[in-house]
Amino acid sequence: MKFGINTFLFTSPFTNASTRLFRKFKEWGFDAVELAIEDPSHIDPKHVRRELDRHGLVCGSVCACLGPDRDLRGTAEQQRNALKYMKALIDQMVVLDCPSLIGPVYSSVGRADAVPRAEYRKQWQTVVRHLRALAEYAGKRGRRICLEPLNRFETDFINTCDQALAMIRDVNRPALKLHLDTFHMNIEEKHLGEAIRKAGKHLAHLHACGSDRGTPGGDHTDWKSIAAALKAIRFNGCVVIESFTTDVKVIARAAAIWRRIEPTRDEIAVNGLRFLKRTLR
């Protein structure tokens, strides 16, 4: 099990210059970095890989950022944009030696609007077709895609572990895996530990943050049940702290962070990592 940090806690967008953060991440004790790459043109993956190597870190995952213009169930143009963007990320992952493309890879974040059941089924089949092609593209390059359910306020499409597993079954490609997030699970799942056990071998990535998007462990989340479930399924993926603060304005607005949840973002990283290592290992 590796422990990582998502770059959105400290910067947006992530660029070549953002690699200055790596020294601090390593000093704090992280094994991996989760790169939130908003546009592939923002980085030179060879440079980023050199900086990761120099600091003894790995790129554990690349976080797909799907805004309004990228949507696998949207307009024809939005679908093309999303496919082009995620294929470019997968190509960069090969250079970065990164195993996983993670996130809500099916639709733009924030698209949450009830549609008739027939329209939902039509959107589902469109996403199945695209994810099948993406999973094949990733698999041929030795990479995988980890699909993340989001809470009901951020998507109307896939909210629960059960829905994500249904999508994985329908896509039926070995390179498509599951990515769970404790923040979203706290809203949508009846029991977090049970959802993880149900995910089983399909779970390849975990986002860990407090129930209020703050520090893991400083909240009411049932971390003991999460730890027991991860042990039961022999989880050996990457556990990443994905919290947001008001310091990064564009992400704060996107994630509806309107107040200072913790004193500093450094404390989220340091205290959260200490707690996760103690609790999950």
Q: Would you please indicate which residues are annotated as catalytic (active-site) residues?
A: 148, 242
The residues that bridge with 101 in the sheet, in sequence order, are 62, 145
Q: Give yes or no for a contact between 25 and 55, defined as CB atoms under 8 angstroms apart.
A: yes
